Chains A and B, each alone.
Chain A
Amino acid sequence: MTFFLVASAIKVFLVLNLILVGVALLTLFERRVCAWMQDRLGPNRVGPQGLLQPAADGLKNFLKEETSPAMADKALFTLAPIVSFIPAMLTFAVIPFASPLPTKWGSVEMVVADLPVGFLYILAISSLGVYGIVLAGWASNNKYALLGGLRASAQMISYEIALGMSTVAVLLLAGNVTLSQVIAQQQAAHAWFIVPLTVAFLIFFISAFAETNRLPFDLPEAEGELIAGYHTEYSAMKFSMFYIAEYSNMVTASALMATLFFGGWDIPFTSWDSTGDPSVVKTLATLALFGFKTFVFLFTFVWVRWTLPRFRYDQLMALGWKVLLPLALIYITILAVAIWFFRVQLDWAYGPGMAWALGGLNFVLLLVLVLWLDRGRIVSGSVPQEAA
């Protein structure tokens, strides 16, 4: 019991700090990648390659004056950044980030809390974050902030459904919501869930962008229309809290994508990492690979942000409700029938064969989907086309 408590406390401390430092570096990474994409150099003055820039920014935010609008609801105005910040910090807790670490006193699972409810916990906690944004928008007593908050709530609730539906597909295969079990399933089949669940990944991927309020779905901020959206009136550390929350949501979403669809800390093409005795080398290797997978998704987030323009609001809603949700429902139906067929009619257990058979099915579905999307139907005008 003491061992569990001490190990958990150390893990909580490490993971929390890792996320905070990671978020700080991510802001620098985003700015530099953005600069490189625009043929510039980006911030490279503070420290080697600008590595101390986040520290300088953090210091600036600590020392800046806190402004508080006269007509704002003081209590809620102060509460909002906290409500937005805490869930963002909590969600990473259930994601396993490496293979178990052997110690003198026993083996330590490399996850802060291997909850039986697994990613349901993530869905539940991450949707709490929207309260922070709505409260911020409302408490500011500013019409732009309010509009940003409203957009955020509508957007996050809409895409939560598509996101949840795409994880149902994972449930159908894994039969378990515990993330360590999801990873174990992927290791056992020697095929990550991206193979049998390609379309689900696609839906999850797009929804994740909307959930984290990133471009092309950053309508809650939409600086061209709403100044800065829900955090227009915030300054100094309160603003920083929203900023950190946004980026740590990004980290969690990336880690979740890596875990659900790309085998988490699994090293591909070998079963060395998941079989046999745990060792420190294995833990470090799997940790590095998990970090790399997460990093790839983080890079994609940044890459997409500096490539795509923002959606119009009705297009955003149309994409969520008219494309992604029906798509997810149809996909689950097809997938459930396929799994039933393989399991009951052909009497297969889930393994490499079934994974690749489902992969083939997904490939066909993906082809149909791409052909359909390629007709310019994703984001069309809000009124019928005029006759030429």
Chain B
Amino acid sequence: MAIGVKVMKRPTQQTSYLRATLKGMALTFSHLLRPKVTMQYPEEKSSKDWTLSSRWRGTHRMLTDEQGRAKCVACGLCPQICPANCIKLVPGEDEEGHRYPLIYEIDEFRCIFCGYCQEVCPEEAIHVGVHYENSEYSRDRFVYDLERLTAQTHPVSTLWDPSDPKGE
């Protein structure tokens, strides 16, 4: 033998391959009959052991008021705080002096899903959502415009609350 393998001296019950083998066989057989942990993903999206956290930060959603308009007042805080610089906002003003976004676009590819936009928003308009299935046929479909953002229906993230760190 080319390599000297160091072999420890051990008591018999530890070196008995026969017992170890039988024990192992019994173990694998018992696992054969145990309940399985696999979640059948597309049909089954949560189980009693696992659900998506309500703090999950996924693709955005813009909330609307009673008239179905976006709650956004185009204050400009979200593009200001956004570390990834993914929010494009052009503010506009109507004749009554209400500010509203002329253009509001979020590039979901640039977004790092930090949730700062939701935290900073004074009107609780823009939210990150509890949602993770985002597939499209082209890259430009990932720039969400205002219409698309208001059309989303998934639940919004609760984010982490410093006064209730365990979420109770």
A→B interface (CB under 8 Å)? 33, 35-41, 303-304, 306-308, 314, 370, 373-376, 378-383, 385-388
Contacts and interface: CB of A to CB of B under 8 A. Distances in A.
14 contacts: A37-B31, A38-B31, A39-B31, A39-B38, A303-B25, A303-B29, A307-B24, A307-B25, A308-B21, A373-B17, A375-B15, A376-B10, A383-B5, A388-B9
B32 A386 contact: no
B43 to A, nearest CB: 11
A383 B1 contact: yes
The 7 closest A-B pairs by CB, nearest first: A376-B15, A381-B7, A41-B38, A382-B1, A307-B28, A388-B9, A37-B28
Contacts of B36: 35-36, 39-41
B16 A381 contact: no
Nearest to B33: A36
B68 to A, nearest CB: 42
A303 B22 CA distance: 12
A210 to B, nearest CB: 15
Given A370-B18, A378-B17, A37 B9 contact: no
Contacts of B3: 382
Interface in B92-123: none
Contacts of B10: 376
B7 A383 contact: yes
B28 A306 contact: yes
A376 B12 contact: yes
A171 B138 CA distance: 71
B7 A36 contact: no
Contacts of B8: 385-386
Nearest to B30: A37
A83 B159 CA distance: 64
B37 A39 contact: yes
Nearest to B31: A37
B38 A386 contact: no
B165 interface: no
A71 to B, nearest CB: 28
A277 to B, nearest CB: 42
Nearest to A309: B24
Q: Which of B9, B15, B17, B27 has the most CB of A within 10 A?
A: B17
A313 to B, nearest CB: 10
B19 interface: yes
B34 interface: yes
B28 A386 contact: no
A381 B24 CA distance: 21
Contacts of B48: none
Main secondary structure of the interface of B (DSSP, over half): loop
A386 B6 contact: yes
Interface string B29-52: 101101111101000000000000
B9 A379 contact: no
Nearest to A375: B12
A385 B31 contact: no
B162 interface: no
B7 A385 contact: yes
A308 B12 CA distance: 19
B7 A37 contact: no
Contacts of B1: 314, 382-383
A115 B19 CA distance: 41
Given A306-B28, A307-B25, A386-B6, A378 B37 contact: no
Given A39-B34, A303-B28, A386 B9 contact: yes
A40 B4 contact: no
A40 B34 CA distance: 10
Q: Which of B3, B12, B32 has the most CB of A within 10 A?
A: B32
A373 to B, nearest CB: 5
Given A39-B37, A382-B5, A386-B9, A374 B24 contact: no
A383 B35 CA distance: 44
A47 to B, nearest CB: 15
A327 to B, nearest CB: 14
A378 B28 contact: no
A223 B4 CA distance: 23
Nearest to A300: B25
Nearest to A369: B18
Given A38-B31, A381-B5, A383-B4, A376 B37 contact: no
Nearest to A383: B4
A40 B4 CA distance: 40
Nearest to B10: A376
A241 B18 CA distance: 35
B9 A40 contact: no
B8 to A, nearest CB: 8
Contacts of A308: 21, 24
A216 to B, nearest CB: 9
B18 A380 contact: no
B32 A36 contact: yes
A151 to B, nearest CB: 16
A220 to B, nearest CB: 20
B16 A385 contact: no
Nearest to A305: B28
A386 B9 CA distance: 7
